[in-house]
């Protein structure tokens, strides 16, 4: 959609496309403190920092009307994995025969995540080389952290060991991270003809205004010890993480013409960094993405 000269002179045209490639994804989150309703206590999760190179597939459709265009796209990245060290601290009030206690659950954990992103935009070719556009973007990343760690508990009053809340802990920590917002940007492209190499080289930059939220949940958390197995049932009441950001994305792409009329190919790289400033007493969190992709499109 950023190569206006490839469709100049057309009053109306439609261009579907398919892309695939590899993206570097990194997510970071500061310490998150919360209140728990089910145990009437409090807790906190440690910093989270995960990253991986993941494959992705994407598709899109662009409608050109003279110099205007409307574009929609969707992308799915999958098989994200990492190994991180997490620490979760809880303050448990007295329950039955168990005195008020401080519980630490920590260790090395494997992380799995996938990501879905889609966007809509409206643009205008100011000249044959310059395009301006604006639109809406939404992304959601599901991060699953299986927990199989050791719990160490002490009585708050005297720091004596509490065997009732010590042992092996199993369960899962789920982070449901999503953001959405508007973006505005522009692109410049230049036709290049060098023998068999024909097409256009383009550069684009955009500014995004995003609101983000991370829902944090502990699921099926159990402590197993010589006294048996018990569910912790920790419900987070503080609403997760919330933040907003103004981020910049940039990219460079080659859109080449093939021997088949209407068929073009694309090779490109693009990336951005969103640093979400926490609001409503939320900690900060951030996302970094760098993509390398290859695609095909056909103009009708």
Please give the chain's pLDDT, 300 residues, in tens: 444 444 444 478 999 999 999 999 999 999 999 888 777 778 889 999 999 999 999 999 999 999 999 999 999 999 999 999 989 998 888 877 778 899 999 999 999 999 999 999 999 999 989 999 999 999 999 999 999 999 999 999 998 998 888 999 999 999 999 999 999 999 999 999 887 788 999 999 999 999 999 999 989 889 898 878 878 778 887 778 999 999 999 999 999 998 898 899 999 999 999 999 999 889 999 999 999 999 999 988
Distances in Å between the Cα of 165 and the Cα atoms of 91, 178, 234 are: 11, 34, 14
Show the 3-state SS of 268-286: EEEEEEEEEEECCCCCCEE
CB 189 within 8 A of CB 7: no
User: Hunting for tokens 């991060």 — which residue is that?
Assistant: 143
Q: Quote the pLDDT of residue 228.
A: 80
Query: DSSP assignment, residue 7?
Result: G
Name the class of domain 4-298: mainly beta
pTM for the predicted model, two decimal places: 0.88
Instruction: Please name which of 175, 180, 178, 177 lies closest in space to residue 208, comparing C-alpha atoms.
Output: 180
């Amino acid at each position: 959609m950023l190569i206006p000269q490839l469709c100049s002179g057309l009053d109306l045209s439609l261009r579907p496309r398919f892309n695939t490639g590899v993206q570097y994804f990194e997510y970071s989150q500061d310490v998150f403190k919360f209140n728990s309703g089910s145990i009437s206590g409090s807790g906190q999760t440690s910093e989270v920092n995960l990253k991986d190179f993941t494959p992705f597939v994407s598709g899109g459709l662009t409608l050109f009307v003279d110099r205007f265009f409307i574009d929609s796209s969707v992308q799915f990245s999958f098989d994200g994995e990492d190994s991180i060290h997490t620490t979760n601290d809880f303050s448990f009030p007295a329950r039955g025969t168990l005195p008020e206690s401080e519980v630490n659950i920590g260790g090395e954990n494997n992380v799995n995540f996938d990501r879905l992103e889609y966007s809509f935009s409206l643009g205008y070719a100011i000249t044959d080389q310059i395009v301006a556009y604006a639109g809406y973007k939404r992304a959601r990343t599901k991060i699953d952290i299986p927990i199989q760690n050791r719990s160490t508990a002490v009585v708050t009053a005297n720091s004596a060991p509490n065997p009732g809340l010590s042992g092996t802990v199993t369960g899962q920590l789920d982070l449901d991270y999503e953001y959405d917002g508007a973006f505005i940007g522009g692109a410049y492209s230049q036709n290049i003809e060098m023998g068999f190499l024909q097409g256009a080289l383009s550069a684009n930059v955009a500014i995004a205004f995003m609101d983000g939220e991370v829902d944090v949940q502990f699921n099926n958390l159990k402590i197993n010890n010589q006294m048996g197995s018990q569910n912790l049932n920790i419900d987070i009441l503080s609403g997760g993480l919330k933040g907003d950001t103004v981020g910049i994305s940039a990219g460079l792409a080659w859109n080449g013409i093939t021997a088949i009329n209407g068929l073009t190919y694309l090779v490109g790289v693009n990336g951005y960094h969103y640093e979400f400033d926490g609001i409503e007493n939320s900690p900060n969190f951030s996302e970094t993405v760098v993509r390398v992709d290859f695609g095909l499109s056909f103009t009708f």
